[in-house]
Amino acid sequence: MADIIKLLPDHVANQIAAGEVVQRPASVVKELLENAIDAQATEIKLIIKDGGKSLIQVVDNGIGMSVTDARLSFERHATSKIQKAEDLFCLDTKGFRGEALASIAAIAHVEMLTKPEHDEVGTHLKIEGSKIVHQEVAVTPKGTSLTVKNLFFNIPARRNFLKSHQVELRHITDEFHRVALAHPNIEFHYYNNGSELFSLPKANHRQRIVHVFGSKTNQKLVPIQEDTKVVKISGFINKPEFAKRSRGEQFFFVNHRFIRSPYLHHSVVAAFEGLIKSGTHPGYFIYLEVDPSSIDINIHPTKTEVKFDDEQTLYAILRSCVKHSLGQFNIAPALDFEHDENMQTPYDYKNKAIIQPKVTVDSGFNPFAEANQRTTINRTYTKPNTQGWENLYVGLESQSGSQNAKDVYFESDTITGSIFQNQKEEIESVATTFQLRRKYIVTTIKSGMVVIDQSRAHQRVLYEKFLRNSTIKEAVSQQLLFPLSLSFSKADMAILKDIQNNLTAIGFAFEEIEGESFQITGVPLMVTESEAGMVLDQLISDYQLEVEENSFSQADILSKTLAKTLSVKTGEVLDNESQLALVNNLFACKESRVSPFNKPIFVTITEDEIDKKFM
């Protein structure tokens, strides 16, 4: 039998490796930023165009590379971070696999400018599909500039799977946040399509968090601190009242590296038990420092998952640390039966005698009298003369006797809703619905009965209504007497700008959206002023959770979010009229069987099925 196993060419092997390392433009940004940090850069610039599809450029002022190092950096498994296998268990750098640049160069047009500090000139390299097409000496400042153009130009299938510019930009921004938060001692600049999104100066951890997520974040933060032999914990948690429905502001850093750890996340959530509402998530920025030999960061190509030697101990320490901070800063509720601030006497009044308060009344005051006619009357009370009081009722008996009692009109007998009396009696006569456990609406049909989930039914009704309004752009907006001011982070503001047209079509009215805050002057009819911030926050959360990638349009995701937020919830009591109206509106929808999230709305129980239960 002929031999069938062959060695793959280098360019094919690089493309296969790129499938693991480079999943989207954000993966390239992560690798290039980490390389710049490992190069001891103190200032890093990130330049993006078209969501990273056309251009990704990272410029740093690090130590740079020589001509030989510049060529070797694009070879597979070429790295300066490790020399032997034992080095994998004491890593303190970001990149160590030696696959990043080789994988990127295999699927894009890459251009590098680099120069060490003490060299007079630098090196200019151009690589296309793993092939070096140009190399020359160049005049360039100290550090390295890496430009990646036309990502996945030679793999059209992978390029077609990329999402819209806005979605890819959001993923890049998320990676930028993770790197910037982990290294507050480095100055970062972030540009997109020629405009500056972030300019982050050197700062401490708290200042860096505020610079990234906006000035309003400062009031949310509660510091945490714990130093043990196993781990050193520092950072901040958000106050319980600022818990959100999304998981956006949740960051774990181990030895200045962002990681994901559901196990440690559960320890933080356990510390918040009883302090936040169900369905909401606490925010946190937690920095862990452990012995590099006690963790393994080489278990996943993206290096965002790590393995700890003793996770149970970390879980207990982190949970107690968060609970301690919540109690230390009076965030958690507490009962104190010994002291009541309302009953305590101030020190200045401790030795003073009690003075009985006095009240004086001007009995001669007449607000209807002229100012010059008002006179002070003696406060001495005199009994009025009551003689001849019987004469006041002379003649009333004859008048009242001549009047029929049926003609007497009493104001309290007025029925203001009489014009709806016939409609109400008609509804009550045909009402055949009742509410089961404040969750289901049961109604009868010819063949049996129908059990309807009231929340899902209302979601379907509202979804089709909002989708119709956003399509025909005829939604009615109720203007607010006073504009409502809201604040969001820069990343959230970018999402709001992107969907502003659809929000306007649905009934929202905005003033100009700039900076970190904006004003709402109008809301849809079904949205109250107090719910406007919650609705917008939920909308942003759905975009952050990539719900829009499974939807048809922005109008679709907007309508789903509004329907989910404003619909009747399980546990709400509905009267007979509301039940009947919901049933009629549901079966008037174009699709009444499933909710906007493809879940069944009702089940039908036929009379035959009921009869079989009694056999």
3-state SS of 106-151 is: HCCEEEEEEECCCCCCEEEEEEECCEEEEEEEECCCCEEEEEEECC
| Distance in angstroms (rounded) separating the CA atoms of residues 17 and 113 | 24
Amino acid 593: pLDDT: 93
The runs of H, that is alpha helices, within 405-528 are: 421-430, 454-472, 490-498, 500-506
| Distance in angstroms (rounded) separating the CA atoms of residues 138 and 115 | 9
More confident residue, 461 or 20: 461
Mean pLDDT calculated for residue range 448-472:
89
* pLDDT tens per residue across span 478-501: 888 888 888 888 778 878 887 888
Instruction: Decide if pLDDT at 81 tops 70.
Output: no
Mean pLDDT calculated for residue range 610-615:
88
DSSP letter at 274 equals T
* pLDDT tens per residue across span 96-135: 556 788 889 888 999 999 999 889 999 999 999 888 898 9
The runs of H, that is alpha helices, within 290-395 are: 311-328
Amino acid 420: pLDDT: 37
Q: Looking at 48-62, 127-141, 152-166, 180-194, which range is the least confident one? A: 152-166
Please list, in sequence order, all residues whose beta carbon lies within 8 angstroms of the beta carbon of residue 193, skipping any fewer than 6 positions away. Answer: 48, 49, 50
Amino acid 92: pLDDT: 65
Calculate the alpha carbon distances from 43 to 46, 201, 253, 507, 580 in Å: 10, 9, 21, 44, 65
Instruction: Decide if pLDDT at 288 tops 90.
Output: yes
Amino acid 466: pLDDT: 86
Amino acid 86: pLDDT: 59
| Distance in angstroms (rounded) separating the CA atoms of residues 1 and 313 | 57
What phi, psi does 433 have (nearest 5°)? -120, 155
Give me the count of residues in the chain: 615
Instruction: Decide if pLDDT at 383 tops 60.
Output: no
Instruction: Decide if pLDDT at 301 tops 80.
Output: no
* DSSP codes, 181-204: HH-TTSEEEEEETTEEEEEE-S--
Calculate the alpha carbon distances from 445 to 435, 584, 594, 610 in Å: 16, 13, 19, 13
Closest CA to 602 of 429, 431, 444: 444
Chain-wide mean pLDDT for the chain? 81
205-328 matches 10-200 in CATH topology: no
| Distance in angstroms (rounded) separating the CA atoms of residues 318 and 324 | 10
Q: Tell how strand 250-254 and strand 284-289 pair up.
A: parallel
Instruction: Decide if pLDDT at 424 tops 50.
Output: no
Amino acid 423: pLDDT: 38
| Distance in angstroms (rounded) separating the CA atoms of residues 534 and 524 | 14
Amino acid 184: pLDDT: 95
Please list, in sequence order, all residues whose beta carbon lies within 8 angstroms of the beta carbon of residue 282, skipping any fewer than 6 positions away. Answer: 237, 238, 240, 243, 250, 268, 269, 272, 276
Mean pLDDT calculated for residue range 324-345:
67
Q: How confident is the model at residue 312 (pLDDT cuts 50, 70, 90)?
A: very high
Amino acid 189: pLDDT: 96
| Distance in angstroms (rounded) separating the CA atoms of residues 507 and 542 | 19
| Distance in angstroms (rounded) separating the CA atoms of residues 559 and 518 | 22
Instruction: Decide if pLDDT at 84 tops 70.
Output: no
Please list, in sequence order, all residues whose beta carbon lies within 8 angstroms of the beta carbon of residue 481, skipping any fewer than 6 positions away. Answer: none
Instruction: Give 435-603's CATH code, choosing from 3.90.226.10, 3.30.1370.100, 3.90.1640.10, 3.30.1230.10.
Output: 3.30.1370.100
Please list, in sequence order, all residues whose beta carbon lies within 8 angstroms of the beta carbon of residue 444, skipping any fewer than 6 positions away. Answer: 432, 450
Amino acid 360: pLDDT: 80
Q: What percent of the chain has pLDDT over 90?
A: 35
- Interhelix angle 165-182/205-213, rounded to 10 degrees, is 170
Q: Looking at 148-162, 230-244, 395-409, which range is the least confident one? A: 395-409
Q: Tell how strand 43-49 and strand 187-192 pair up.
A: parallel
Tell me the one-letter amino acid at 613.
Answer: K
> What residues pair up with 449 in beta bridges, in sequence order?
444, 605
Amino acid 277: pLDDT: 84
- Neighbouring C-alpha atoms within 13 Å toward the C-beta of 408: 10
Helix (H) or strand (E) holding 155: none
* pLDDT tens per residue across span 541-568: 776 665 444 545 777 888 888 888 889 9
Amino acid 418: pLDDT: 39
Please check whether residue 84 is in contact with residue 96, taking contact to mean a CB–CB distance below 8 angstroms.
Answer: no
| Distance in angstroms (rounded) separating the CA atoms of residues 205 and 253 | 12
Amino acid 15: pLDDT: 67
Closest CA to 458 of 540, 341, 570: 570
Please list, in sequence order, all residues whose beta carbon lies within 8 angstroms of the beta carbon of residue 497, skipping any fewer than 6 positions away. Answer: 513
| Distance in angstroms (rounded) separating the CA atoms of residues 298 and 307 | 9
Mean pLDDT calculated for residue range 140-163:
90
Amino acid 237: pLDDT: 95
What phi, psi does 205 have (nearest 5°)? -65, -40
Q: Looking at 445-449, 473-477, 568-572, 590-594, which range is the least confident one? A: 473-477
* DSSP codes, 38-86: HTT-SEEEEEEEGGGTSEEEEEE-S----HHHHHHTTSTT--SS-SSGG
Q: Which residue has the tokens 């906007």?
A: 596
End-to-end, the C-alpha distance of the chain in Å comes to 70
Instruction: Decide if pLDDT at 377 tops 50.
Output: no
| Buried b or exposed e, range 227-241, using 16+ CB within 10 angstroms | eeebbebbbbbbbbe
The reply to whether CATH 3.30.565.10 applies to domain 10-200 is yes
Please list, in sequence order, all residues whose beta carbon lies within 8 angstroms of the beta carbon of residue 131, skipping any fewer than 6 positions away. Answer: 11
Q: Token digits for 406?
A: 């049926």
Q: How confident is the model at residue 392 (pLDDT cuts 50, 70, 90)?
A: low
- Name the most confidently modeled range: 69-73, 223-227, 365-369, 399-403: 223-227
Helix (H) or strand (E) holding 483: strand 477-487
Q: Which fold has domain 205-328?
A: Ribosomal Protein S5; domain 2 (3.30.230)
Domain ranges of the chain: 10-200, 205-328, 435-603
Q: How confident is the model at residue 367 (pLDDT cuts 50, 70, 90)?
A: confident
Tell me the one-letter amino acid at 355.
Answer: I
